[in-house]
Chains A and B, each alone.
Chain A
Amino acid sequence: MAAIIELENISKHYSPTIIGVDNVSLTVEDGEFVTLLGPSGCGKSTLLRMIGGFEEPTAGVIRLGDQDVTLDPPYKREVNMVFQDYALFPHMTIGENVAYGLKTFKLDKNTVRTRVKDALTLVGLYEKVNQRPQQLSGGQRQRIALARAIVRRPKVLLLDEPLSALDAKLREQMQIELKHLHEKIGITFIMVTHDQTEALVMSDRVVVMEKGRIAQQGRPQDLYDHPATPYVANFIGTTTFLPGTVADGADGVATIDVAGTRISAHPEIELAKGATVTVGLRPEKVKLLAEGETAENELEGKITEVIYYGLGLRISVALADGSKIDADTLLPDKLSHSTLPQVGAPVRLGVATHNIFVFEGKVTP
């Protein structure tokens, strides 16, 4: 696979103090579905808009294919954008909206008609061709915006929070639809979202951003299993953190003192004896141990809270030194509700060694 987009040390400083994007380098392969993920204000939109040509970087180079397009205006780039609130032209019909992007290609009428029809059929809305955007629902507009962008057959499709205006049900449905569309047309997709589920469900690769920089990038499952920083661990999934001290750090297995207990982990970094670290535990990987049951690592505490969330329970436990961790458990069988964990009860928690994250230093994410 060849690179279709290359960002080289891209920065956008709106002013000396307002930094939108800070020295980002990123390569996107042809046909890939890449998602820029991060909290509000981390620079996702700014980065996407620079690829689209709506903002000029203050430093760095953007290459599309093997062409330097850094300073090209949007209308000269073979990329197209699906805008957050769709930006459909209110004074044109759906058909005219979709045909708009073909005007510059100087195609004959029949070709235009076929391509508009194909694009609208692809998103399942050809019957709306003569209606106006105002007559459509949010989800339908979103599909028209897609059709309008892909009808030009761009090299790269940019999507800025394309689903954020839709309600939860429709959003889930559109996530799958978009993913299928991507597989079907084979164009490179670069999407922006602040919704981790959306990112994980849809993308080949997720780029997690933090304050204008890339915090980590990788396949969804890699980010989930090997977060490089507490920030990423907490942004992709949920993680509870405990402060710890390294008791022994030799040979890829470290023993760490946490909350008065000694646990072992496989840290992905070198740890010196006596170093301060932060241990991360995912609630879904922490197990409530039954009597007589054992685990590679065990922690003891008292239940402080039990939250019911449909699929299961999230149980907050206070450890001996007062620090708290969460454990998820599936709901027990309907008939045995009497055995539900009770607040105040003492519990033992078990975690497998390979499910423990270790981060350097003392962090409050």
Chain B
Amino acid sequence: MSILRRNLPGVLVMGIPVLWIALFMLLPYGIIVTYSFWLKKYPTFIPAFQFGNYITIFTDPQYVLVFLRTLKISILVSIASFLLAYPFAYWLVFRCRSAALRTWLYMAVIAPLWVSYLLRAYIWKTILGTEGVLNSFLMSIGLIDEPSSLFLYNQFAMVVTLTYIFIPFMVMPIYTALEKIPTNLTEASADLGMGPWRSFWHVTLPLSLPGVAAGFTLTFCLSFGDFIAPFLVGGPDGNLIANVIATQFGAALNWPLGSALAIVMLIVVLTIVSLSDRMERKGLSGGI
């Protein structure tokens, strides 16, 4: 009794977070894992321990296709973000002379993160749609005569939208990594006979790889689990895993399969995160 009272603040400080994590994270994981082995028996599910759901995921072309599509979209989004973010971050860190401008531009890239994610995805609907900004613009300059429906409701629209939404997560780690590279390393490289391109290739790029890895991990995993963009701009054959999972828990009423899908998705994401973590650690031990 007195022990408890003496430790009460400690118990509260530690206890509430532990309880929170147990209740809202560990328990749901447990439930999902458990469900993923159950059997669907219309109209409900019966407890079981069998791998049928997982087998379905890896054999039914329908699910394999969604997985591959999600993989493809996520990879495209990561690559597009990288190709845009790296030169931009590089320019900011090494070429932008004015510190004020640098801060400003960096903030401009980060600021959209404070705007509702849903809103930012929705914006692209109004840009790419038949009534949208892009179509009006193309018509006004006479490139097309009537609105094109080619821009919206396809995978292209999804990649554009997701790249737009997640690019700050690529810019931030790359910017940080580049900023950490001491200028005297590039100077040393030049001193040792290397021109700007070769210095970049041999010194700057390798030393920024941990940032690139972090950026790829973030944008890939965020895209991999995205639910809104396919929903808003993806069109009929733009479903990603998250949408399929949602359907299993909703209309299809197949919680066991939905759970198994969620677990597979979780494993993919965790694998990527731990790989990149290992790479970053290695980068650090070899790092600055």
A50 to chain B, nearest CB (A): 13
Q: A271 to B190: give the CA distance in the assembly, Å.
A: 53
- Most B-side CB within 10 Å, residue of A84, A88, A103, A148: A103
Q: Which residues of A contact B286 (CB under 8 A)?
A: 90-91, 132, 134
Give chain B residues whose Cβ lies under 8 Å from the Cβ of A90: 207, 286-288
Find out whether the CB atom of B187 lies under 8 angstroms from the CB atom of A74. yes
Closest to B182 in A: A87
Q: Chain A residues near B188 (CB, 8 Å)?
A: 81, 83, 87-89
Q: Is the CB of A54 within 8 A of B187?
A: yes
Shortest CB-to-CB span from B214 to chain A, Å, is 17
B206 in the interface, Cβ–Cβ < 8 Å?
Answer: yes
A52, A89, A91, A104: the one within 8 Å of B193 (CB): A104
Residue from B195, B207, B283 within 8 A of A75 (CB atoms)? B195
Q: Is B203 an interface residue (CB 8 A)?
A: yes
Residues in A with CB closer than 8 Å to B287 are 90-91
| Given A85-B184, A90-B288, also A73-B190 (CB < 8 A) | yes
Structural contact, A101 and B193, CB atoms closer than 8 A: yes
A148 touches B192 (CB 8 A): yes
Question: Which residues of chain A (61-93) have a CB below 8 Å from chain B?
Answer: 73-75, 80-81, 83-85, 87-91
* A96 nearest CB neighbor, chain B only: B202
Give the contacts of A90-132 with B (CB-CB under 8 A). 90-91, 100-101, 103-105, 132
Task: Please determine whether A152 and B192 come into contact, CB atoms closer than 8 angstroms.
Answer: yes
Q: A100 and B182 in contact (CB under 8 A), knowing A81-B188, A90-B288?
A: no
Q: How far apart are the CA atoms of A105 and B192 in the complex, in Å? A: 10
Count of interface residues, chain B, beta-carbon cutoff 8 Å: 22
Which of chain A's residues have a CB closer than 8 A to the CB of B194?
75, 100, 103-104
CA distance A53 to B184 in the complex (A): 13
Q: Complex: how many Å from CA A265 to CA B180? A: 59
Given the known interface contacts A91-B206, A91-B286, A132-B286, the answer about A75 and B184 at a Cβ–Cβ threshold of 8 Å is no
C-alpha spacing A83/B190, complex, angstroms: 13
**Are A81 and B193 in touch, CB under 8 angstroms?**
no
Q: How far is the CB of A300 from chain B (nearest CB, A)?
A: 56
In the bound complex, how far is the Cα of B29 from the Cα of A72, in angstroms? 63
Interface string of B185-204 (1 = CB under 8 A from A): 10111111111001000110
Q: Are B191 and A74 in contact (CB under 8 A)?
A: yes
Count A-B pairs with CB separation below 8 Å.
69
A243 → chain B, closest Cβ, in Å? Answer: 46
Tally chain A residues at the interface, Cβ within 8 Å.
Answer: 26
With the chains together, A90 CA to B198 CA distance in Å?
17
A52 to B191, CA, bound (A): 7
CB distance from B177 to the nearest CB of A (A): 12
Residue from B184, B195, B203 having most chain A Cβ neighbours under 10 A = B184
- When C-beta atoms are compared, the residue in chain A nearest to B207 turns out to be A91
| Assembled-state Cα–Cα distance A148/B194 (Å) | 14
State whether A89 touches B184 (Cβ < 8 A).
no
For residue A54, which residue of chain B has the nearest CB?
A: B187
Residues of A within 8 A of B288 (CB): 90
Instruction: Determine the distance from Cα of A73 to Cα of B197 in the docked complex, in whole angstroms.
Output: 13
Closest to A132 in B: B286
Among A101, A132, A152, find the residue whose CB has the most chain B CB atoms closer than 10 A.
A101
Q: Who on chain B is nearest to A83 by CB? A: B184
The verdict on A75 contacting B185 (CB below 8 Å), with A89-B203, A91-B207, A132-B286 known, is no
Q: Separation in Å of the A190 CB from the closest CB of chain B?
A: 14
**For B198, B286, B287, which residue has the most chain A Cβ atoms within 10 angstroms?**
B286
Cβ A75 vs Cβ B187 within 8 A: no
A217 to B30, CA, bound (A): 79
Q: Which of B46-90 contact A (CB under 8 A)?
A: none
CB distance from B117 to the nearest CB of A (A): 36
Residues of A within 8 A of B203 (CB): 89
Are A75 and B206 CB-contacts (below 8 A) given A87-B182, A87-B185? no
A54 vs B199: C-alpha distance when bound (angstroms): 14
Residues of chain B with a CB closer than 8 A to A104's CB: 192-194
Q: CA of A74 to CA of B191 in the docked complex: distance in angstroms?
A: 5
Chain A residue at smallest Cβ distance from B192: A101
Evaluate contact between A152 and B206: CB separation under 8 angstroms. Answer: no
Cβ proximity bits A257-292 to B, threshold 8 Å, 1 near / 0 not: 000000000000000000000000000000000000
Q: Which residues of chain B are near A54, meaning CB under 8 Å?
A: 187, 190-191
Contacts of A74 in B (CB 8 A): 187, 190-191
In the complex, the chain B residue whose C-beta lies closest to that of A105 is: B193
Q: What is the minimal beta-carbon distance from B199 to any residue of chain A, in angstroms?
A: 8
A87 contacts which of B187, B195, B207 (Cβ < 8 Å)?
B187
Q: How far is the CB of A8 from chain B (nearest CB, A)?
A: 23
Chain A residues with CB under 8 A of B285: 134
Contacts of A89 in B (CB 8 A): 185, 188-189, 203
Chain A residues, Cβ within 8 Å of B187: 54, 74, 81, 83, 87
Query: Does B191 contact A80, Cβ atoms closer than 8 Å?
Result: yes
Cα(A104)–Cα(B285), bound, Å: 28
Going nearest first, the 8 A-B pairs with the smallest beta carbon separation are: A101-B192, A104-B193, A87-B188, A87-B184, A74-B190, A91-B286, A75-B190, A81-B191
User: Could you give 9 example pairs across A and B, Cβ below 8 Å?
Assistant: A74-B190, A74-B191, A75-B190, A80-B192, A85-B182, A87-B185, A91-B206, A91-B286, A103-B198
Residues of B within 8 A of A (CB): 182, 184-185, 187-195, 198, 202-203, 206-207, 283, 285-288
**Supplied contacts A74-B187, A75-B193, 14 more A-B pairs, CB within 8 Å:** A54-B191, A73-B195, A75-B190, A75-B192, A75-B194, A80-B192, A83-B184, A85-B184, A87-B182, A87-B188, A88-B188, A89-B188, A89-B203, A100-B192
Which residues of A does B touch, CB under 8 Å? 52-54, 73-75, 80-81, 83-85, 87-91, 100-101, 103-105, 132, 134, 148-149, 152
